[in-house]
Amino acid sequence: MSAPSVGLAQIGKSVVIKGELSGSEDLYLDGQVEGSIALKGNSLTVGPNGSVRASVEAKGVVVQGKLEGNVQASDRVELRKSAVVTGDIATQRISIEEGAYLKGKVDIHRTEVK
Amino acid sequence: MKIFRGSGPQSPTPAQASPRLTRRSSGLGELTRVWDAGENLCILDLGSTSANNIRFFTGRGHKIYSEDLLVASTDASLLTKDEEGNPVLDSRKFLADNLVYPAAHFDTILCWNLPDYLDESLVKPVVGRLWSVLKPGGMLLAFFHTRDAGPDSPCFRFHIVGPDVLEMQRIVLRRETRRGPTGAIHTAVSDGFQLQRVFNNRHIENLFRDFASIKFFLARDNVREVLVVR
């Protein structure tokens, strides 16, 4: 995946955050975060330099870097080939590229369309 | 039991893509019947992360746990020495960091070729832990080389592509590219995981002696599939 597009909230690779991170917009994270990340209704992308040690709640999650923590995505999770994920994933859909590493559970629950 | 005891891989980097071979698996066929009849089962896959396997189980409404124990066994912090000063892996630390699950949690455990390639010091402790996290009546599938296998037998990862069909993909941990004296590019591939031993039937029965029953399937590619029930 290439660099994030304009208009996306970004955390650069030199940034280190410890604590609760929440928001109502999509987030591209290429730095270090420890704590929790809540982006209900929005997407999180962990860039190739990103290192996350946090529980994650979002609509969609794309991982290219390192993520240690449980992931709850109401829509979709994508693990790219450079992803290293340790934790449980609960989502509706999941996509895993060749080369991605996962240590944890995958639980798919589909929301019924009314 | 033939023991090869080779050195482990030097760089624990994730597996890279390589061509896939197809094989039929009687053991997998038996397990698929169980999976199709059950609901919301818990399966533990101890091979490399496989999108195929995750899709196979989640598509049937089951939960899949993925944990690559061979890669985990390459952690340099596991290296220690035994009472005689020989280098061994610290099985206590290994089990403190891996296979940490509640007792009687899994309906099925897929070991694939793990016992053949895992360091000697970890095999019995790992099998003991697997027994404890498997539900009574739960099943474990493992593949063992037959006596014809040599120490250079490649290590594969396994992808479920059908009810009784597997795709085997050779694990490549390191790919080195060099330019030769004539200017040509040469690529050397390192498997990284070396066959540690060849079990005979008696040793396999001994390894799984705490399990209630054991069934052997012998395949044409000199692999014994073993299905044990707790």
- With contacts defined as CB-CB under 8 Å, which chain A residues touch B72? 103
What pLDDT is attached to residue B11?
39
- Is the pLDDT score of B17 beyond 60? no
Contact residues on chain B for A92, CB-CB shorter than 8 A: none
Question: Domains of chain B by range and CATH?
Answer: 2-229 (3.40.50.150)
pLDDT at B9: 42
- A98 and B68 within 8 Å at the Cβ level: the answer is no
Q: Does residue B221 or residue A59 have the better pLDDT?
A: A59
State residue B153's pLDDT score.
Answer: 81
Closest CA to B126 of B95, B89, B84: B95
What pLDDT band is residue B95 in, cutting at 50, 70 and 90?
A: very high
8 Å CB contact of B63 and A107: yes
User: Among partner residues A98, A101, A106, which is closest to B17 by beta-carbon distance?
Assistant: A98
pTM, entire model: 0.87
Tell me which of A6 and A35 has the higher pLDDT: A35
Percent of chain B with pLDDT over 90: 63
| 8 Å CB contact of B63 and A102 | no
Q: Greatest CA span in chain B, whole angstroms? A: 62
Whether B8 shows a pLDDT value over 50: the answer reads: no
Instruction: Tell which wins on pLDDT, B176 or B85.
Output: B85
Cα–Cα distance, A61 to A92 (Å, whole number): 11
Q: What is the ipTM of this complex?
A: 0.88
Range name among A43-47, A58-62, B4-8, B171-175 with the lowest pLDDT average: B4-8
User: C-alpha distances in angstroms, B12 versus A18, A99, B98, B143?
Assistant: 29, 13, 16, 23
Closest residue in B to A105 (Cα–Cα): B65
State how beta strands B223-229 and B134-145 pair.
antiparallel
Query: Which residue did the predictor score with more confidence, A8 or A81?
Result: A81
- Lowest-pLDDT range of A9-18, B18-27, B107-116: B18-27
* Interface contact flag, B66 A95, Cβ < 8 Å: no
Across residues B63-82, what is the average pLDDT? 92
Inspect the interface and report whether the beta carbons of B51 and A108 lie closer than 8 Å: no
**pLDDT tens profile B167-224:** 999 887 655 556 666 666 665 555 568 888 888 899 999 999 999 999 999 887 778 9
The percentage of residues in chain A with a pLDDT greater than 90, rounded to a whole number, is 85
The A-side interface with B (CB below 8 A) comprises 84, 94-108
Q: Which of A84, A94, A108 to mutate to test the interface with B (most CBs of B within 10 A)?
A: A108
Confidence of residue B159 (pLDDT cuts 50, 70, 90): very high
Q: What is the mean pLDDT of residues B36-51?
A: 95
Choose among A100, A107, A108: nearest Cβ to B49: A100
Among A84, A103, A108, beta carbon nearest to B66: A103
Region A19-31: mean pLDDT is 95
Picking from A96, A101, A104, the nearest residue to B14 by CB comes out as A101
Q: Does B17 sit within 8 Å of A96, measured CB to CB? A: no
Mean pLDDT of B115-128: 94
In total, chain B counts a number of residues equal to 230
- Residue A75 DSSP SS3: strand
Is A35's pLDDT higher than 80?
yes
Cβ neighbors of B178 (< 8 A, separation 6 or more) are B185, B186, B188
